[in-house]
Amino acid sequence: MTVEERLAALEARVQAAEDELAIIRLLNSYGPMVDSGASEAAAALWVEGGIYDFTGGAVAVAPDGLVAAYEGPEHQGLVHAGCSHLTATPRITLDGDRAEALAYSYVAKRREGEWFLYRAAINHWLLVRTDAGWRIERRTNRLLDGSEESYALLRRVLD
C-alpha cells in the first residue's frame, strides 16, 4: 500500500468517525431541546419537510408540525410535570451523504416527587448531510409495548 493509499484510507476513517460523532451529537441534542421548550431548535434538527412517524399512525412534518407537537398539550404536560427524553447510543450505518441510525429512546417522568420510566421505544432515523451538517429526514418511533410492529421495525433495520 502506498503512502497516498494509506493517507486516503486514513482520511476516510477519520471522516466516518467525525460523521458518526456528529450524528450522535445531533440525536442526543433532541431530548434537551424538547425538554427545555426549544421547539423551533428541535424542529430544525430535521430537513424541511422531514417526517416524524409516531407510534399509532400520527405523523408530524418539519418544521411546523413538529413545533406544534412540541408545544401541544400532551408534550407540554410532560415538560411541566418534569420529564427527560433520553436517546441511547445509536447503531449508525453510513452511506456517503446519507445515514441511518437505530436506537432505543426513553422518557423518564416525575410523579409525586419520584422518577419513573414512562415509556420506551425503538427509533429508526434516516439522515442526510446538508450544508448545515447532518439532519433528520425521517424518524420512525415505535413504543416497545410488545406489539409485532415494534419488533418488525427492529428486525427490518437489523437485516
Residue tagged 433495520 (cell numbers): 157
Q: What is the C-alpha to C-alpha distance for residues 38 and 34, in angstroms, rounded to an integer?
A: 6
β-pair partners for 151: none
Per-residue pLDDT of 112-143, as tens digits, reads: 999 999 999 999 999 999 999 999 999 999 99
Structural contact between residues 31 and 84, judged by C-beta atoms closer than 8 angstroms: yes
CB 104 within 8 A of CB 88: yes
Q: Express each pLDDT in 14-50 by its tens digit.
A: 999 999 999 999 999 999 999 999 999 999 999 999 9
What per-residue confidence (pLDDT) applies to 157?
83
pLDDT per position as a tens digit, 37-90 = 999 999 999 999 999 999 888 999 999 999 999 999 999 999 999 999 999 999
This prediction has a pTM of 0.93
Cell of 118: 414512562
Spell out the domains of the chain, with CATH numbers in brackets. Answer: 3-158 (3.10.450.50)
Could you give the CA distance from residue 39 to residue 37 in angstroms, rounded to a whole number? 5
